[in-house]
């Protein structure tokens, strides 16, 4: 799909081929996203949307070549082009559009039907718009994806039942830890995943020995207040780890925050890492009493909920097909726009020349009336052509060529 000699691309990597470590290399903080957008703007890219979540990092935008987007991604992350090529995907034109629909509707999520991604897409679009990097095509596409996501939520049960990384973490704890009600649990990090995990822990384990730690203490206090839990200072992290039986790490740090050197407890310790990039250093596994589980292992926990969800995939796909067909129909009408505009300009030139001639010839020539009448006629003729091109899609290309010939119009290079 071409746009001023550029094409619409979706480039990125996800949990499907990239493990947590590689995804961590390509993870973008909010500051990095803004920096990437600024660079894109300076490099003449007209529209770009960037998402980076636990499960994927993706760029959707217009470029002459996908390498422009890959280069921007690698410039602003720890990832290299070589690493990217090993695990990446590059979609172009209608395939890129289709990919965004699948991602935004939860069909491509690590846990089927997880709709977290749609709010991230909305935020990404707002960020791009603020930077002046959201053209009418991208804005309309994201709105269509949001519409599809809403309908899938309302008309199917693709996201029914409690299944998310946080739910899977609690499920894992309940399956693998005996007497969970009596265990000391520490939750480090109270972002979205942390809050959800906390809620699931309270609801399912009936445990009242849950301690929260967050770098910003007030955020932990907000969550703790809701569930009547204990909050400790960030400085107490080491002590709390060593008095706990289970530690759940869900921080947004770019580097590990929990290391082997922090652990001195002699009793068994279960560590769950729900962060991307990983926030628990691999060296903890050198300690015999420590068990480390990462969110990628948790996502493999499939339960009845997921099985039930699969039944709704066909319905979700038909909703996407319907909304995508409307979007693609809109794209098809864009290719007529340059021809219609060229006809209009041609007719305006003819009108101007004719009015100039009549002004010289006629003494009582009423220029305002002539302008009004000829402008109305031009609008009607243009509408007829537009209607014909939109209705008769089969021969529209031939019609465009014929119109260009009759009106001796300039070739237009802008295709969408």
Q: Which residues are part of the catalytic machinery?
A: 54
217-227 vs 192-205: helix axis angle to the nearest 10?
30
What are the angstrom distances between the C-alpha of 94 and each of 8, 23, 68, 74, 301?
8, 26, 19, 25, 33
Q: Sign of torsion, CA 297 298 303 305?
A: negative
Residue 225 class from Cβ within 10 Å (0-12 exposed, 13-18 middle, 19+ buried)? exposed
d(CA 392, CA 326): 16
247: helix, strand or coil: strand
Report which of 173, 167, 199 is spatially closest to residue 270, judged by C-alpha positions.
173
What are the angstrom distances between the C-alpha of 238 and each of 67, 139, 190, 303?
44, 47, 17, 35
Report which of 62, 293, 20 is spatially closest to residue 176, judged by C-alpha positions.
293
d(CA 310, CA 305): 9
Structure tokens at 272: 């769950």
């Amino acid at each position: 799909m071409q746009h001023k000699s550029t094409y619409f691309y979706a480039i990125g990597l996800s949990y499907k081929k990239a493990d947590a470590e590689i995804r961590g290399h390509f993870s973008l903080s909010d500051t990095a996203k803004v920096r990437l957008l600024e660079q894109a703007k300076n490099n003449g890219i007209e529209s770009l949307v960037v998402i980076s979540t636990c499960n994927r990092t993706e760029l959707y935008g217009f470029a002459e070549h996908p390498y422009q987007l890959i280069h921007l991604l690698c410039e602003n992350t720890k990832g290299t082009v070589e690493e990217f090529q090993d695990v990446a995907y590059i979609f172009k034109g209608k395939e890129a559009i289709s990919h965004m629909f699948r991602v935004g509707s939860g069909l491509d999520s690590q846990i089927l039907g997880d709709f977290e991604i749609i709010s991230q897409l909305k935020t990404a679009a707002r960020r791009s718009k603020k930077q002046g990097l959201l053209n009418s095509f991208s804005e309309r596409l994201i709105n269509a994806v949001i519409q599809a996501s809403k309908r899938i939520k309302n008309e199917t049960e693709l996201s029914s039942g409690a299944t998310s990384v946080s739910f899977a973490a609690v499920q894992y704890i309940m399956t693998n830890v005996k007497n969970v009600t009596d265990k000391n649990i520490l939750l480090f990090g109270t972002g979205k995943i942390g809050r959800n995990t906390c809620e699931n822990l309270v609801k399912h384990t009936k445990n009242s020995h849950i301690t929260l730690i967050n770098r910003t203490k007030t955020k932990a206090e907000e969550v703790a207040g809701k569930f009547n839990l204990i909050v400790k200072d960030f400085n107490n992290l080491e002590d709390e780890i060593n008095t706990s039986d289970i530690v759940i790490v869900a921080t947004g740090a770019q580097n590990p925050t929990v290391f082997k050197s922090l652990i001195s407890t002699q009793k068994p310790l279960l560590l769950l890492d729900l962060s991307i990039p990983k926030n628990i250093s691999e060296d903890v596994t050198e300690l015999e009493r420590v068990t480390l589980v990462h969110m990628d292992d948790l996502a493999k926990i499939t339960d009845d909920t997921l099985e039930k969800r699969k039944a709704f995939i066909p319905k979700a796909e038909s909703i996407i097909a319907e909304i995508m067909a409307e979007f693609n129909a809109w794209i098809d009408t864009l290719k007529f726009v340059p021809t219609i505009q060229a006809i209009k300009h041609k007719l305006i030139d003819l009108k101007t020349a004719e009015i100039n001639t009549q002004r010289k010839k006629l003494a009582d020539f009423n220029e305002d009336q002539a302008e009004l009448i000829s402008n109305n006629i031009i609008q009607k003729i243009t509408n007829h052509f537009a209607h014909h091109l939109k209705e008769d899609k089969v021969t529209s290309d031939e019609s465009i060529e014929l119109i260009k010939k009759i009106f001796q119009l300039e070739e237009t290079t802008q295709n969408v």
